[in-house]
Structure 1
Amino acid sequence: MLSRRDFIKGGVALVSIGTTAQSLLKGAVAFAAQHEDATNPAAAGRILILVQLAGGNDGLNTVVPAGSGAYRSARKTLAIPEEAVLPLAEGYGLHPNLAGLKRAWDEGKLAVVRGVGYPNQDYSHFKSMAIWQAGDPELKLDHGWLGRTLEKLESEQHDPFLGFNIGSSTPAELETPAVSIPSVQDPADYGFKVRGKPADASEPRTRTLLKLYEQYPAQSPYGVLLETTVEAAVASSAALAEAARRYRPAVAYPETSFGGGLSLLAEAIVGGLGVRVGHITLGGFDTHANQAADHGELMQVLDEGLTAFQADLEAHGRADDVLVLTWSEFGRRVAENANGGTDHGASSVMFALGSRVRGGLFGDPPSLERLVDNGNLGYTTDFRRVYATVIEGWLGVPHEELLGARWEQLGFVAG
């Protein structure tokens, strides 16, 4: 018979077993790992941090075709002044608020992938986001592209924070029934809870639940699951609390929710919690109006957060282990609208940041003279090529089965 301790040691993924078990966990999270494994720095390996720019980031004002007459003609008020653009190469440059990423470029730590998209672009936030999260424009593959990747990684590594999301719920790209993903916003608020409050053994409801838990026979249906759920919840919350106690950021993070989330990811990485994939979202990119101010502010938030994160990892000796990848569900239309903004578009840009990145421009630039779908940039780089690069080139997992086909990698990561 499978014992409770064997169940934990085996690293078997847990499933929800009803409202009682769900109430024991913050966010219905359950893990199958021991505390010692969860805090073992040697188990970390290479780490991917995925940054979602939610809403549809304007690639043209992020990586600017500085000298393009077509760009300036289409954007009479929104075009970034040529003298303000931070130069990269081939006539392209960064938004002026991306000074930290410009320094990373100069140091060879930033790769820019241009013209990223997919066939038959969908202009709905919901549908396009689902396509990117599944890694499949036809939405025929099961679960999220990183969820499928984590299933492969979990077969070799059993850590409660194998996948780690900053937020209140699991993003679709990380979803899989085989690996539980903790979603955390505040380490102080994460742990073993009853009715949303820290478990208090003196409280009557808590005493009743714990008594039921103690008396439930291990040989009964779900008995192993119940005890493992409780033990793993306690162990994982203890591991995160210990990491928080020991971690001291080496830099001052910006006082934004994005900066705070990146600091929490750094804490988990430096604390050796076994993270292989982390996820964080920066929202607000649906800039139909007032884009110049709003997008400029978002660029600053993105830049300051990622710059602090990279510097922190470097100071703690973990930068070589981490690759940051940005994505957004689509770009914006080339021409500005009457409200000082841009509407839903097609292809956009992605950043790959890290000490082991091969810096440079990747992917062909989309043509500003040959637009598609009534004024949009055509895509030149299928987003699945980027995914294949990070799945196989960075995380070391064969990508063909995970993406449903073989894709040519882009080579922006060192082997």
Structure 2
Amino acid sequence: MNKRHFLKSILASGIGLSSYSAVGQQLAMINASAKATPLEGYKALVCIFLYGGNDSYNMLIPTENSDYQTYAGVRQNLAIAQESLIPLSTSSLLPYSLGVPDYMSPVSELFHQGRLAFINNVGPLVEPTSKANIENGSALLPPQLFSHNDQQKLWETAGSNINELSGWAGRMADLLTDTSSNSLSMNISLAGNNVMQTGNIVQPYSMTADGAPMFEALNPQHNWNSQRIALFDQLIALDNHVLGNSYKKIMSTARTNALQVNQALDSLPILSTTFEADSLSQELEMTTKLIAAREALGMKRQVFFIGFGGWDTHDRQLLDHPRLLNTLSLALHRFNEAINELGLSEFVTTFTASDFGRTLTSNGDGTDHGWGGHQLVMGGAVNGGKLYGEMPELALNSQNDLGDGRMIPTTSSEEYGAQLAKWFGLTDAEVAQVFPTLSRFDQHNINFLQSI
């Protein structure tokens, strides 16, 4: 029985993902001897997490006069000028025509090339809900709504339990990874520790835009370290205590992985695509290199996590938000060019996530914490040039408005992640294991990837 079937049999026997971490030790015991089912070809997911909560209602904006006036009346001093909008031409059925600000022209170009789509009004949900159900107290709601840390965690775990220790990409890696043949994780983070990539067996590998961190004094690429390395290895070999053995294993894995990654990066040809100097662009450039090095790293599947902060626009929104959206748009465009240059466009899907949307109302200099918001998905496998899900009404006190322009999500973050996981290669049964309450939602209303 291979590992994926073993995991499925455990979970099907009544051990749900709510108690998934309770069997982590048992899973770790069988991991070394059980091998994951081989996957065909190569695929990568790239998550760009917009930390702070993106005001996506200043990202997708009505373009027709009457609809724009409704938007402008609610947004007040934060409204983007109507004449600066780039209309989006789409076959999607929408309640009103939409455009993006002119500083998002790279995204507009990708959208009209069919390489990018928008997923509308997404957010953490326990179950499909409505304003009426919330007002009469019958709705089950996610815990700690409007809290940065808690909502980030719900996005990353794709559930409603803020105490969950594993994320959905980590649980995917638990199912797909054969750690007996490769110590390097398929989950690579350029933003440090994160819940989304943390599994019960597989942990993310953290690095930076400059490469894999090395113990400089133990770097075998420098010949002057040879004696120091030999002495260090002799010293730790003397310790056979259980803690000493654990330390040796951790040190050995860290050194091996860092050397493997950096040697693979050093051997890559230089691409003609040039990236900007900002941190997001530099991390996407490193992501491009790691994808290019997939064969040297022995990877058929990779998930990358990039954090892009600054989106908590309580103030200075008219100054900061356009700059952030422009940086994101240009970085996505460059990344698309680089992946095209590698000939891997159909096999790399990039997507955004964010704590929450923001209020439609202005607080005078910015917006406050909301709930549902819009996300972007990019890649050759994306059914681009379209908008998926429901666009909310932009008038205050509508059926979408929980209060102060906080939009009630009509698509759950769990549905969103499940679409990505299925494209990544998980079976329907495996998707259901990774996303434990998915069956509560209509899973067919946002088929934004070509293989689904």
TM-score (norm 1): 0.81
Indicate which of 146, 158, 173 corresponds to 2:169: 146
Residues 160, 96 of structure 1: alpha-carbon distance in 2 compared, 3 angstrom cutoff: same
Alignment of 1:9-408 (within 5 A): 45-67=42-64, 68=67, 69-88=69-88, 89=90, 90=94, 91-119=97-125, 120=141, 122-139=145-162, 141-155=164-178, 158=182, 160-167=184-191, 169-188=192-211, 190-192=213-215, 201=225, 209-216=232-239, 221=242, 225=246, 227-247=248-268, 248-272=270-294, 273=297, 274=299, 276-339=302-365, 341-359=366-384, 360-369=386-395, 370=398, 371-397=401-427, 398-405=430-437, 406=439, 407=441, 408=443
- 3-state SS of the aligned residue for 1:190? coil
Q: CA deviation at 1:195?
A: 9.9
Q: Which letter maps to 1:265? A: T
- 3-state SS of the aligned residue for 1:350? strand
Distance 1:314 1:188 in 2: 22
Distance 1:78 1:375 in 2: 14
Residues 84, 159 of structure 1: alpha-carbon distance in 2 compared, 3 angstrom cutoff: farther
Q: Which letter maps to 1:100? A: P
Once the two structures are superposed, residues 114-160 of structure 1 have per-residue CA deviations (whole angstroms, 9 ceiling, x without a partner) of 01123436011111112112211233644112111111121488461
Q: Which letter maps to 1:101? A: V
- 3-state SS of the aligned residue for 1:333? coil
Tell me if the contact between 1:97 and 1:296 (Cα under 8 Å) persists in the aligned partners. yes
Q: CA deviation at 1:309?
A: 0.9
Q: Which residue of 2 aligns with 1:412?
A: 448
Q: Which letter maps to 1:283? A: G
Distance 1:224 1:319 in 2: 43
Q: Which residue of 1 aligns with 2:17?
A: none
Tell me if the contact between 2:124 and 2:159 (Cα under 8 Å) persists in the aligned partners. no
Tell me if the contact between 2:124 and 2:154 (Cα under 8 Å) persists in the aligned partners. no
Distance 1:136 1:65 in 2: 32
Q: Which residue of 2 aligns with 1:24?
A: none
Residues 180, 383 of structure 1: alpha-carbon distance in 2 compared, 3 angstrom cutoff: closer
Tell me if the contact between 2:50 and 2:353 (Cα under 8 Å) persists in the aligned partners. yes
User: After the TM superposition, which of the residue ranges 356-365 and 97-106 deviates more from structure 2?
Assistant: 97-106
Distance 1:78 1:279 in 2: 31
Structure 1, unpaired ranges of 5+ = 1-31, 34-41
Residues 270, 285 of structure 1: alpha-carbon distance in 2 compared, 3 angstrom cutoff: same
- 3-state SS of the aligned residue for 2:77? coil
Structure 2, unpaired ranges of 5+ = 1-30, 33-38, 126-140
Distance 1:154 1:61 in 2: 40
Tell me if the contact between 2:119 and 2:389 (Cα under 8 Å) persists in the aligned partners. yes
Q: Which letter maps to 2:373? A: S
Distance 1:282 1:128 in 2: 16
User: After the TM superposition, which of the residue ranges 155-164 and 346-355 deviates more from structure 2?
Assistant: 155-164
Tell me if the contact between 2:212 and 2:262 (Cα under 8 Å) persists in the aligned partners. no
How many percent identity over aligned positions?
A: 22
Distance 2:119 2:164 in 1: 25
Q: Which letter maps to 1:145? A: W
Once the two structures are superposed, residues 302-326 of structure 1 have per-residue CA deviations (whole angstroms, 9 ceiling, x without a partner) of 0111111110010111222100010
Q: CA deviation at 1:170?
A: 1.5
Q: CA deviation at 1:209?
A: 3.6
How much is the aligned-residue C-alpha RMSD, in angstroms?
Answer: 2.8
Q: Which letter maps to 1:87? A: P
Q: CA deviation at 1:70?
A: 2.1
- 3-state SS of the aligned residue for 1:77? helix
Tell me if the contact between 2:356 and 2:373 (Cα under 8 Å) persists in the aligned partners. yes
Tell me if the contact between 2:212 and 2:261 (Cα under 8 Å) persists in the aligned partners. no
Tell me if the contact between 1:345 and 1:377 (Cα under 8 Å) persists in the aligned partners. yes
Tell me if the contact between 2:171 and 2:200 (Cα under 8 Å) persists in the aligned partners. no
Tell me if the contact between 2:314 and 2:367 (Cα under 8 Å) persists in the aligned partners. yes
Matched positions, count: 371
Tell me if the contact between 2:212 and 2:258 (Cα under 8 Å) persists in the aligned partners. no
Distance 2:290 2:112 in 1: 28
